[in-house]
Amino acid sequence: MLTTLRRIVLEFSQEAELQNALERMVSSVKKAMKTDCCSIYLADYHQQHFLLMASDGLAKTSQGQTCIGFSEGLVGLVGQREEPLNIADAQQHQDFIHAPEVEEEDFNAFLGTPIIHQRKVLGILAIQQKESRHFTENDEAFLVTLSAQLAGALANAEIKNLLNQQEEHNQGVKQLHGIAGAPGIALGQIFVCQPQADLAAVSLKKSNDRPKQLLRFEQAVEKTRLEFNALSSKLSETIDDDSLAIFDVYKQLLEHANLGQEVAAKIAQGWRADSALRLVIEHYISQFEAIEDSYFRERASDIRDLGTRLLINLQQQAQEEQLLPNEFILLAQDVSAAMVAQYQHQGLLGIISLSGSNNSHAAILARSLGLPAIMGVNAIVLSQLHQQQAILDGYSGELFIKPDETLIQEYQYLLSQEKALTDKVMAVAHLPCITQDGRAIEVLLNAGLSAGFEHNAQLGALGIGLYRTEIPFMNRHCFPSEQEQTKLYRKVLQVFPKHSVTMRTLDVGGDKSLPYFPINEENPFLGWRGIRITLDHPEIFLVQVRAMLRANQGLNNLEIMLPMISGVEEVDESIRLINQAFAELKAELTTAITTELMSASNADGHLSLQQAQLKAQAVSAQLVRPKVGIMLEVPSVIFQMEALAKRVDFFSVGSNDLTQYLLAVDRNNSQVANLYDAFHPAVLTALNSLAQQSAQYLTPISLCGELAAQPAGAILLLAMGYDKISMNGHNVPRIKWVIRHITFTQAETILAKVLTLTTAKQVHSYLNEQLEALGLGVFIHAGG
């Protein structure tokens, strides 16, 4: 029966039209289970009833017409109880209702089971038999299993069908959901961008003229390189140069990576240029898609986009002249950073990508440009949305198709509020972040996934609270040298010469495998990652620390932060290695400078060896050992704070991972993502405990995570006693505005009440009420 079950689910998923899929499915189930009737009812939550959508056994005329209330009949009872109902003589049951139009008088036995997706009843699947009998346990098990497997497919199929349905009882507005990729709101017409070339459609063929094929490929590479340079140059007129690092990924793939060599090797084996390109690109895509971590997995999108652009130029296709509206929302199957750059000067209001996440380069670039974005809007057909009017809500990830006038007016009001709010907060972004009764908290930047600190002077941040150092390790095919790392870190430290820049040591491993350092684990989030991998490979750790120390020479604004600490042994070993790197580097600098001075003085004899050594020591004194702190993100540290405080200079809470570990929720898993909530009472209690303990042990504490970027979260962290909070640049001036418009006493009162609440829902409701009462209600929607 397992084979039959899989076949039914597969056939349902592959059917383009929902109605056809339902009709085919009930017939297949009836045949497989050898019953007299099989029917499916779908839930309509607007009308509070189940609608008979398809049946093999009931009257055809009743399909799409017969409605059964959520609290009526056996079908309603199945939905209410959310469990199977197996009745030998249904017509004698007290909840049975007679519906003459369905013509079920001859049926007695009834077995119904709910179809539930993410705790919501989508419909009821029922089978009926003329013979009065209880269906067997095997029958019940098969139907329950089928319903469970159909749930996800049905949820997607309903979304696909949403734009085509003639909903007599429903409003005209269609609402779709995705991942909030970049904050903001856009109202306008959707423009669908279809790919001009398809690698998957390339036939794998060979050619005898290898030199010609190689020349074709080299010309395509050169043309593609020029296109990327042009896009990067145009984009540099709008945003800070550092944000253009995204295009370095494409350039490295074209110029420094093995991609070109691998394509050339395939051509040398006799493949046509386009066939060779397809083989190599698909291999790269499969490698990246196999990586667990969402940020690294998103690099498959970059590879795919690069391959498509190379193929277009390889096939010498002319760029089609596109008639764009004056203003539009861009929609594509996979929006790339290059596409955002291509259209952002042509009236682009926002982007919608059917695939991808908020870690995609398109989303990162959209945030830099201030363009709202929604990623991962699954199960819709592109052609259905072309030229449709839409509202894109980049805060919530909601997409409204064909919005009515009321909804349009509501979002136009929100847009006007957002603009007025932005003008207000930016006007005072340079002012200190201090409450009305004199309590200060520093607001810093999270940086590193892109440049991360674009336009920092205007944002008003007091330094960088978290600089992720993974970038120089990620876009390569080997570990970067000490010199390469030093150059990059120096550039970052110089952005805030008078403020601290906290650099996190390499945080990869397990769920963030580097292409040249693969790690395969069954449970990567609990595996070999962060400090665990760098302590196991001190040669990697020491080189990185030395690069940081060199970059810090003469600036002295570096702070080093250790990720994924779970115990004191890791801290002790890390500090030993940092001290070793510092001592080695200091000795090397002293020797090098002494040698240099002596060589220079030998020409005129003015400097003795002792004098040269003293001068060298004075210069090397500019090499200062930085403060060392740890990230508090593994729950075990909550119970080791005293011992840890004796070893480090500061703490920084990684609220994203701490929330994930405390709640045992993978925030990248759509099945359980709704359970991930930093406002969960357990998380807030843990954060408060960490702040209290850090104060007790006189150790500064900060927080870098999504919680800090939310107005209500910032207020709670202020009240808990956090010294610093770190976030993306977009939210810095907003959070400063919020803090400047409350008192510390008000924040303490809010925190005291929140810590008595027992559910995340209660916390959110109370905090929204308080923001409204404080006159900060406008930040509820704009808090993302």
- Residues labelled catalytic: 361, 704
Q: Sorting pLDDT into bands at 50, 70 and 90, what band is 5?
A: confident
pLDDT at 507 (0 to 100): 87
525-565 confidence digits (pLDDT tens): 676 778 988 898 899 999 999 999 999 998 999 999 999 99
Instruction: With beta carbons less than 8 A apart as the criterion, state whether 146 and 112 touch.
Output: no
Rounded-to-integer distance, Cα 210 and Cα 212, Å: 5
Query: What are the structure tokens assigned to 171, written together?
Result: 């409003």
Residue 20 CB coordination number (10 Å): 12
138-158 confidence digits (pLDDT tens): 999 999 999 988 887 787 665
The mean pLDDT of 20-32, rounded to a whole number, is 92
Higher pLDDT: 780 or 522? It is 780
CATH of segment(s) 175-193+320-413? 3.50.30.10
Q: Pairing state of beta strands 442-447 and 464-468?
A: parallel
Q: 734 — phi, psi (to 5°)?
A: -65, -45
Higher pLDDT: 418 or 42? It is 42
- Distant-in-sequence, close-in-space partners of 574: CB < 8 Å, separation ≥ 6: 505, 531, 535, 541, 562, 628
Q: Sorting pLDDT into bands at 50, 70 and 90, what band is 521?
A: low
pLDDT at 455 (0 to 100): 44
Strand positions, DSSP E, 260-397: 328-332, 348-353, 373-375, 389-393
pLDDT at 782 (0 to 100): 52
434-452 confidence digits (pLDDT tens): 999 999 999 998 887 554 4
Strand positions, DSSP E, 654-746: 701-704, 724-727
DSSP reduced 3-state for 668: coil
Identify which of 774, 708, 721 has the alpha carbon closest to the alpha carbon of residue 746.
Answer: 774
Q: Sorting pLDDT into bands at 50, 70 and 90, what band is 590?
A: confident
pLDDT at 762 (0 to 100): 96
- Distant-in-sequence, close-in-space partners of 663: CB < 8 Å, separation ≥ 6: 675, 676, 677, 680, 682, 683
pLDDT at 454 (0 to 100): 44
Second CATH level (architecture) for the domain 2-162: 2-Layer Sandwich (3.30)
Amino acid at 425: V
Instruction: With beta carbons less than 8 A apart as the criterion, state whether 332 and 192 touch.
Output: yes
Q: Sorting pLDDT into bands at 50, 70 and 90, what band is 202?
A: confident
Of the listed ranges 49-63, 361-375, 609-623, 677-691, the least confidently predicted one is: 609-623
| Per-domain boundaries in the chain | 2-162, 175-193+320-413, 199-314, 478-491+512-632
Q: 404-408, 416-420, 606-610: which has the highest mean pLDDT?
A: 404-408
Rounded-to-integer distance, Cα 419 and Cα 252, Å: 38
pLDDT at 486 (0 to 100): 94
The mean pLDDT of 299-327, rounded to a whole number, is 73
Residues in the chain: 784
pLDDT at 742 (0 to 100): 96
Find out if CATH 3.20.20.60 is the number for domain 478-491+512-632.
Answer: yes
DSSP 279-326: HHHHHHHHHHHT-SSHHHHTHHHHHHHHHHHHHHHHTTPPPPP----S
Which fold is adopted by the domain 199-314? Enzyme I; Chain A, domain 2 (1.10.274)
Rounded-to-integer distance, Cα 736 and Cα 425, Å: 8
Residue 188 CB coordination number (10 Å): 18
The mean pLDDT of 631-639, rounded to a whole number, is 96
Higher pLDDT: 695 or 383? It is 695
Cross-strand partners of 374:
180, 352
Instruction: With beta carbons less than 8 A apart as the criterion, state whether 394 and 182 touch.
Output: yes
pTM: 0.69
Q: Check pLDDT > 70 for residue 510.
A: no
pLDDT at 523 (0 to 100): 61
Of the listed ranges 70-79, 99-108, 334-343, 481-490, the least confidently predicted one is: 334-343
Q: Check pLDDT > 60 for residue 215.
A: yes
pLDDT at 167 (0 to 100): 41
The mean pLDDT of 697-705, rounded to a whole number, is 95
Alpha helices in 704-743 (DSSP H): 711-720, 732-740
- Distant-in-sequence, close-in-space partners of 266: CB < 8 Å, separation ≥ 6: 275, 276, 279, 280
The mean pLDDT of 745-772, rounded to a whole number, is 96
Rounded-to-integer distance, Cα 446 and Cα 505, Å: 14
Amino acid at 407: L
pLDDT at 778 (0 to 100): 73
Instruction: With beta carbons less than 8 A apart as the criterion, state whether 111 and 140 touch.
Output: yes
DSSP reduced 3-state for 686: helix
The mean pLDDT of 265-285, rounded to a whole number, is 85
- Please classify residue 361 by burial: count the beta carbons closer than 10 Å to its beta carbon, then call 0-12 exposed, 13-18 middle and 19+ buried: buried
- Quote the DSSP letter at residue 672: T
Q: 57 — phi, psi (to 5°)?
A: 145, -35
- Distant-in-sequence, close-in-space partners of 165: CB < 8 Å, separation ≥ 6: none
pLDDT at 755 (0 to 100): 98
pLDDT at 544 (0 to 100): 95
